[in-house]
Amino acid sequence: MKEAIERTCIVKRQAAEPDDLIRFVVGPDASVVPDLRRKLPGRGCWVTANREMVDRAALKSHFERAFKTKVVVPADLGLMVDGLLVRAALGALGLARKAGAIGLGATKVESSVRSGKALAVLHAFEASEDGVRKISQARRAVVHMEGPDTPAYKLFSESELGLAIGGTNVIHAAVLAGEAGKAALKRMVALDRYRGGTPGNRLTVAAPAAEDTE
């Protein structure tokens, strides 16, 4: 049986679970490269998975100290990681759509929430307050009836969701139960965490997301 490898944030100097950290390696050109899937070869170092910590690591020479060598830190490293997380989340949503694990439209989303089939709700940045309010009311009503507390996210624009899911005017969507839905939710949680999302949302989705072993 292999011993667990301790992973410690090079900024906070605190050990954490792998899903709470981002791995970085040094590329052939000596540049610092994010390794979200933790599969790139070479010695890696770890940073707490939020934008503030990544930016701090880049600005304060933490990478050079961790790798014990001169490295090139991209000026937009924090933004680069955000883009990779967005791409991963949208890709997972596309796969979930193909698997039938995405519900589109306010009516479908509300129905999925009330039936308990929704793992999470997605609102586009452009969503109106009225549309969000109606779905939020459904979420609260389910909790009042001792049903699941379905988290809601605003992570993407209408155009990003449309391209990923293959629809037009995608304003509201529900991520539905099932393996593909859980995989998409895990990617959404990672992006939300990186952008400083609410701890409550992360706690709510932690259990189902953990079942995705990709």
**Contact call for residues 57 and 63 (beta carbons, < 8 A):** yes
Q: Is the pLDDT of residue 29 over 70?
A: yes
Rg (CA), the chain: 19
Residue 70 lies in a domain: no
The answer to whether position 173 is within a domain reads: yes
Co-location of 146 and 112 in the same domain: yes
User: In the chain, how many domains are there?
Assistant: 2
2 inside domain = no
Helix, strand, coil percentages in the chain from 3-state DSSP, rounded to 5: 45, 15, 35
- Domain presence at residue 78: no
203 or 127: which carries more pLDDT confidence?
127
Per-chain mean pLDDT for the chain: 89
Question: 94 and 52 share a domain?
Answer: no
- Domain span at residue 184? 83-209
Contact 145, 84 (CB under 8 A): no
- Examine the domain organization and report whether 57 and 140 are in the same domain: no
Instruction: Give the residue from 95, 160, 88 showing the smallest Cα distance to 122.
Output: 160
pTM over the 0.85 mark: yes
pLDDT the model gives residue 6: 64
Which residue is it, tokens 């099932």?
178
205, pLDDT greater than 80: no
